[in-house]
Amino acid sequence: MWVDSFELRLTKPLGTAAGQITERRGLLVGIQRDGYRGFGEATPLAGWTESYEACERALTKAAADGYTPNPVETPAAAHAVDLAELDAIARRHHRSLAAELRATVYNSDQPLPDTVPVNATIGDGGVDETVDAALAAAEAGFEWLKLKVGVREPEIDLERVQAVATAVDDGVSLRLDANGAWDRPTARRVVDRLVDLGIKSIDYVEQPIAADDLDGLAALRGRGVDIAVDESLTNYSLADIIETQAADGIVIKPMAVGGPTRAVEVTRRARNADIEPVVTTTVDAVVARTAAVHVAAAIPDVAACGLATGSLLADDLTVDPVDVVDGCARLPTGAGLCEDAFVGLWPNNSD
């Protein structure tokens, strides 16, 4: 097993629940099993995974003595190893990573979709800027728009949402992502106002209140707008979220839950509890983004996912093998992640 570091710039700073990010530092992993190569990626993100330093230590140990990173303590490192192993296994079985995951987790060999629906992300700009971005995304074929809210005053956010709902076609659904910005009373007021305004195109409000307030999230459900959790999955287990009835939907980041296998397992358990899963990236490089598309494709009848994030990076490790056209990400063909698309990433001095 080999490990190489990389650093990629973002096109512009990106606001997250843990603050702004301007670059993505990560580690590329390669293994060889029975003559088949596998690629993995670890791109830690503060607030969702371990630190870069902790990830690097775990992967260095894994390369030195076969250590298996702990998916709870170092989920990004565990993601890299799990992905590399899966890639090699799928290549050996001469099937795609998505097919390998569906067979392993869902025990199904049903045909995979050619594409996965994805949402466009709209930033927290003013009303006119938000509407222009939403119209551009809808014109590009996106039928799901994810609007960042919570940075501005609630009344301004409501104005932005209503303006977008009025501007786009009825077939476009809106997702509102507050990143835990509101307290309980504010979140309740916003949800009730969304219902009063009659905005029927809202799919859900994501993480309206703090990640550690499962009881508060549960209290927001049943008011007329679905509630989804994201950051809460880094604070609590899925079992906790199910037990407290805190969510109608759950956002699953393979990098944050410890790898593609665990991500698909979480989706299956969520579905069994009537919680709809959505797969997103953590603004990853091309290897992990491609894996996230396979994770989404492995889920039967998956909802629109947050996978169109490659444009957030100013540069990348190599050419992206996933095309996003008309609001859908196309599943790469060939065995493993994408046949030979990443072959140039393999170091010349590694066997």
Domain ranges of the chain: 2-95, 115-330
Please give the mean pLDDT across all residues of the chain: 95
Asked whether the beta carbons of 195 and 223 are under 8 A apart, the reply is: yes
Predicted model pTM: 0.95
What confidence score (pLDDT) does residue 231 get?
92
User: Which is the catalytic residue, given 12, 146, 148, 200?
Assistant: 148
The mean pLDDT value for 51-78 works out to 96
CA distance 34 to 1: 13
HEC profile of 158-194: HHHHHHHHHHCCCCCEEEEECCCCCCHHHHHHHHHHH
Mean pLDDT of 140-158: 95
- In the beta sheet, which residues pair with residue 5? 27
Question: Is 200 annotated as catalytic?
Answer: no
- 246-269 pLDDT, tens digit per residue, is 999 999 999 999 999 999 999 999
What pLDDT digit, counting tens, does each position of 76-110 carry?
A: 999 999 999 999 999 999 999 999 999 999 999 89
Q: Which two tokens stand for residue 166?
A: 């009025």
In the chain, where does DSSP find H-type helix?
A: 52-65, 75-92, 97-105, 127-139, 154-167, 184-196, 214-220, 232-235, 238-244, 254-257, 260-272, 286-298
**Residue 39 corresponds to which tokens in the numbers above?**
């690629």
Whether 304 has a pLDDT exceeding 60, the answer reads: yes
pLDDT digits (tens, 9 = 90+) for 183-226: 999 999 999 999 999 988 999 999 999 999 999 999 999 999 99
CATH code for the part of the protein at 115-330: 3.20.20.120
The pLDDT value given to residue 47? 84
Which tens digit of pLDDT belongs to each residue from 264-299? Answer: 999 999 999 999 999 999 999 999 999 999 999 999
- Superfamily of domain 2-95 in the CATH hierarchy: Enolase-like, N-terminal domain (3.30.390.10)
